[in-house]
């Protein structure tokens, strides 16, 4: 796995983007592999991952292990398993794919084959393996790019589909860990004519056979294999292969994996939340527009009265002028530079970068460019887009900083591409240390880290510098009203306008918009299902943006009416407060769905959740700030000020 692999995957993505495909889901870049009779079909092995337990429906670990971890004593091919080249996203998301000693020959049934010589599993390894069985670990294989799975019938809709992965072992009635040492591999093939065959489905039925050594346990004694933790255990790994003709076409072979668990619930909750959100936004909009119209009309009438007053024709207008209140009063302060303009502009730069990256990624996915058959394409595209959009980050940060009247432009240029990525990278590195300590394969290899650092320094940082340069060259955004010399006194505010209550109130709404989809994404992330409902995600993203903008604008309106002109940070932090709910939701999810035995799993879970929440904070904060800024620009340019 070298730079070449990355380049190749990146090039193929570029090719994918350029060629517009006729099929929405399956890509021209991923051409079918055809096999002739007696051709070898490669079986690759991926990492072992924890799966949901059937008993308590909970996940007991988040660590994954490499297939060739010594303790498992799985058979290796001659010369050891070789790494199969993967895309960057695939590695970041934990795939560790290697070659294997399995020999599958197209159309050749095989009832029992030994994989390698008898292995001796020692006490320590037995303990390790038994623990993994108790934690419901799954094996993940890839045959012709298709994940080996188990058949599953959804009880609520009675539809059959394939769950990825199959169990390492099981726990029997006597509460003993039983190891699966025989695999029946059932492969569906499709006859494409002219003696060409394609793989269109892979199921593995694992079983445990204590007497596997003799004739693959064909004696069918019901004896299962349990590993004793008090002595050495001889284990023989065996497998059988069954080729079954199928009418499934190659182009739709992924369909059985993309099963929506109860789509009705999905639709229902999505429509539910969007109706509430749309209703809410409509209300906010109506209130605001009416109130503003009244305010602006009043202000401008007062203005004309005041002018009349000067010319001495009207006597009673003076009282009305005294009554002048609300947001107009702070016109001389509303564009005053906020505290820490540097930090805010750096956050806003990064936030814009994230905003465009997420939007573009979801759009690509929606258009079918990131099909699940292209492993890791989602991760790769996200990293790549974030890197390229460094330009936007630099530009926004510089322009905002210039508008704030910032002086330390060198620091702004340097911090924009480094600050948030350093925080993310440092957290990632720390969490990786835990994974390394646990010998988990989830740890991102050091070389991959170097490659990411390289991409970041060579592409992202210069692009960001270029963006900053452009941003500083452009004129700042001119405020419609002048800033007074002396800052106004801010009257004490009511409870709900104080930072924390307002954050708690406002933050929940954008969170409400994405809550449902977040739940599905988390399910997919922690339970290894394929997430593909990008249509839903796209809608949710749009609804979230609208909601965030609407509620932040409302908050800023109330703030200004209360004569509090420190709206910049307040808009950012209040909109970003939905990240707090995202984190709380992750903790709730932990309580309800996950039960970790180990400290490391807990640390990792909390660490990754914090990281995601932090990025979400910056993203929503940025959306909130810019909508509030546009709003403030609009309303102050519509009133006359002497």
Contacts with ligand NAG by CB under 6 A lie at 107, 109, 242-244
Q: How far is the CB of 112 from ligand NAG (least distance, A)?
A: 13
Quote the least distance from Cβ 182 to ligand NAG, whole Å: 16
CB of 202 to ligand NAG, least distance (A): 14
Torsion over CA: 155, 158, 164, 167 (sign):
positive
Residue closer to ligand NAG by CB (options 184, 320) is 184
Q: What are phi and psi of 607, to 5 degrees?
A: -60, -50
As given in the structure block, the two tokens for residue 102 are 């399995």
CB of 147 closer than 8 Å to CB of 257: yes
- Give me the DSSP letters along 4-52: HHHHHHHHHHHHHHHSPPSSSSS-TTSPPP-B-TT-EE-EEEEEEEE--
State the burial class of residue 129 (Cβ atoms within 10 Å of its Cβ: 0-12, 13-18, 19+). Answer: buried
Q: What is the distance between the alpha carbons of residues 370 and 542, in angstroms, rounded to a whole number?
A: 20
d(CA 465, CA 397): 11
Angle at 166 between CA 143 and CA 121, to 5 degrees: 100
Cα 432 to Cα 315: distance, rounded to the nearest angstrom: 75
Q: Are 531 and 521 in contact (CB under 8 A)?
A: yes
Task: Report the 10 Å Cβ neighbour count for 4.
Answer: 9
User: Least Å distance between CB 542 and ligand NAG?
Assistant: 49
User: In the complex with ligand NAG, which residue's Cβ is closer, 109 or 337?
Assistant: 109
By beta-carbon proximity to ligand NAG, the closer residue of 108 and 293 is 108
Q: Are 336 and 487 in contact (CB under 8 A)?
A: yes
- Residue 244 CB, shortest distance to ligand NAG, in Å, is 5
**246: which residues sit within 8 A by CB, 6+ positions away?**
188, 189, 190, 200, 201
Which residue's structure tokens are 């909750």? 269
Closest by CA position to 616, among listed 580, 567, 571: 580
Closest residue by Cα to residue 333 from 556, 483, 490: 483
- DSSP per residue, 579-603: HHHHHHHHHHHHHHHB--SSHHHHH
Cβ atoms of 528 and 164 within 8 Å: the answer is yes
In the complex with ligand NAG, which residue's Cβ is closer, 201 or 417? 201
Q: How far is CA 249 from the centre of its chain?
A: 31
What angle in degrees, to the nearest 10, is found between the helix axes of 446-455 and 377-388?
A: 40
Q: Which two tokens stand for residue 36?
A: 């002739």
Closest CB to ligand NAG among residues 239, 327:
239
Task: Provide the token pair at 335.
Answer: 């564009």
Measured from the CB atom, the residue of 74 and 243 that comes closer to ligand NAG is 243
All residues at 6 or more sequence positions from 572 whose CB lies less than 8 Å from its CB, including other chains: 344, 347, 348, 621, 622, 624, 625
Comparing CB distances to ligand NAG, the nearer of 241 and 537 is 241
By beta carbon distance, the residue nearest ligand NAG is 109
CB of 143 to ligand NAG, least distance (A): 16
Residue whose CB is less far from ligand NAG, 71 or 107: 107
CB of 109 to ligand NAG, least distance (A): 4
Cβ proximity to ligand NAG, 109 vs 223, nearer residue: 109
The distance of closest approach from Cβ of residue 65 to ligand NAG in the complex, given in angstroms and rounded to an integer, is 33
Q: Which two tokens stand for residue 111?
A: 């009832």
Q: Could you give the CA distance from residue 353 to residue 385 in angstroms, rounded to a whole number? A: 9
- Work out how close the CB of 219 gets to ligand NAG at its nearest, in angstroms, rounded to a whole number: 19
**Residue 147 Cβ, how far from ligand NAG at the closest point, in Å?**
22
The C-alpha atoms of residue 566 and residue 559 are separated, in whole angstroms, by 8
Least distance from ligand NAG to the Cβ atom of residue 205, Å: 12
Q: Which residues does residue 187 pair with via DSSP β-bridges, in sequence order?
A: 202, 243
What is the rounded CA–CA span in Å between residue 613 and residue 592? Answer: 19
- Residue whose CB is less far from ligand NAG, 38 or 489: 38
* Nearer CB in complex with ligand NAG: 185/227: 185
Decide whether 190 or 331 has the Cβ nearer to ligand NAG.
190
Residue whose CB is less far from ligand NAG, 244 or 433: 244
Min. distance of Cβ 36 from ligand NAG in angstroms?
13
Q: How far is the CB of 245 from ligand NAG (least distance, A)?
A: 7
- The helix (H) or strand (E) run that includes residue 360 is helix 341-366
Nearer to ligand NAG, 14 or 244 (CB): 244
- How near is the Cβ of 132 to ligand NAG at its closest, in Å? 31
């Amino acid at each position: 796995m070298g730079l070449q692999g990355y380049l190749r995957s990146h090039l193929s993505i570029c090719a994918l983007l350029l060629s517009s495909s006729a099929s929405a889901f399956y890509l021209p870049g991923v051409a079918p592999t055809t096999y002739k009779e007696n051709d070898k079909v490669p079986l690759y092995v991926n990492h072992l991952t924890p799966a949901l337990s059937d008993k308590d429906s909970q996940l007991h670990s988040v660590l994954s292990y490499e297939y060739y971890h010594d303790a498992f004593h799985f058979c290796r091919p001659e010369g050891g398993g070789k790494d199969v080249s993967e895309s960057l996203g695939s590695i970041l998301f934990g795939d560790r794919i290697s070659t294997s000693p399995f020999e599958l020959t197209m159309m050749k049934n095989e009832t029992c084959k030994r994989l390698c010589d008898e292995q001796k599993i020692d006490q320590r390894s037995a303990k390790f393996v038994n623990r993994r069985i108790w934690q419901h670990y799954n094996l993940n294989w890839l045959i012709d790019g298709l994940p080996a799975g188990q058949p599953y019938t959804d009880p609520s809709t009675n539809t059959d589909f394939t769950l990825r992965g199959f169990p390492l072992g099981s726990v029997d009635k006597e509460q003993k860990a039983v190891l699966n040492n025989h695999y029946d591999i059932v492969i569906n093939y499709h006859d494409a004519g002219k003696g060409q065959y394609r793989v269109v489905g892979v199921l593995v039925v694992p079983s445990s056979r204590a007497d596997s050594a003799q004739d693959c346990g064909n004696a069918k004694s019901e004896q299962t294999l349990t590993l004793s933790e008090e002595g050495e255990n001889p284990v023989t790994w065996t497998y059988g292969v069954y080729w079954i003709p199928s009418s499934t076409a190659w182009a739709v072979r992924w369909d059985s994996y993309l099963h929506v668990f109860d789509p009705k619930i999905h639709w229902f909750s999505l429509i539910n939340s969007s109706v509430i959100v749309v209703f809410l936004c409509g209300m906010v909009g109506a209130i605001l527009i009416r109130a503003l119209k009244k305010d602006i009309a009043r202000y401008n009438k007062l203005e004309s009265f005041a002018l009349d007053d000067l010319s001495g024709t009207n006597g009673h207008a003076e009282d009305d002028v005294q009554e002048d209140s609300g947001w107009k009063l702070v016109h001389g302060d509303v564009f005053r530079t906020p505290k820490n303009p540097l930090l805010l502009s750096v956050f806003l730069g990064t936030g814009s970068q994230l905003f465009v990256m997420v939007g573009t990624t979801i759009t690509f996915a929606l258009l079918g460019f990131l099909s699940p058959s292209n492993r890791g394409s989602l991760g790769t595209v996200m990293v790549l887009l974030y890197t390229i959009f460094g330009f936007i980050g630099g530009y926004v940060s510089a322009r905002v900083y210039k508008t704030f009247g910032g002086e330390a432009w060198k620091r702004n240029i340097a911090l924009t591409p480094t600050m948030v990525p350093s925080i993310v990278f440092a957290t990632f590195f720390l969490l990786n240390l835990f994974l390394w300590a646990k010998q988990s394969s989830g740890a991102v290899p050091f070389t991959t880290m170097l490659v990411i650092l390289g991409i970041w320094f060579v592409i992202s940082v210069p692009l960001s510098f270029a963006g900053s340069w452009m941003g500083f060259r452009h004129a700042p955004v001119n405020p419609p009203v002048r800033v007074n010399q002396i800052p106004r006194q801010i009257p004490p505010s009511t409870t709900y306008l104080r930072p924390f209550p307002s954050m708690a109130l406002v933050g929940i709404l954008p969170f409400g918009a994405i809550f449902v989809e977040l739940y599905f994404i988390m399910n997919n992330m922690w339970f290894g299902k394929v997430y593909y409902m990008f249509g839903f995600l796209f809608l949710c993203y749009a609804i979230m943006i609208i909601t965030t903008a609407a509620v932040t604008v409302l908050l800023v309106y109330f703030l200004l009416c209360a004569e509090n002109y420190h709206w910049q940070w307040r808009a950012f932090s209040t909109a970003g407060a939905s990240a707090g709910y995202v984190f709380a939701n992750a903790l709730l999810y932990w309580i309800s769905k996950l039960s970790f035995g180990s400290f490391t799993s807990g640390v990792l879970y909390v660490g990754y959740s914090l990281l995601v929440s932090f990025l979400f904070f910056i993203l929503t904060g940025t959306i909130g700030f810019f909508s509030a800024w546009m709003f403030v620009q609009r309303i102050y340019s519509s009133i006359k000020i002497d």
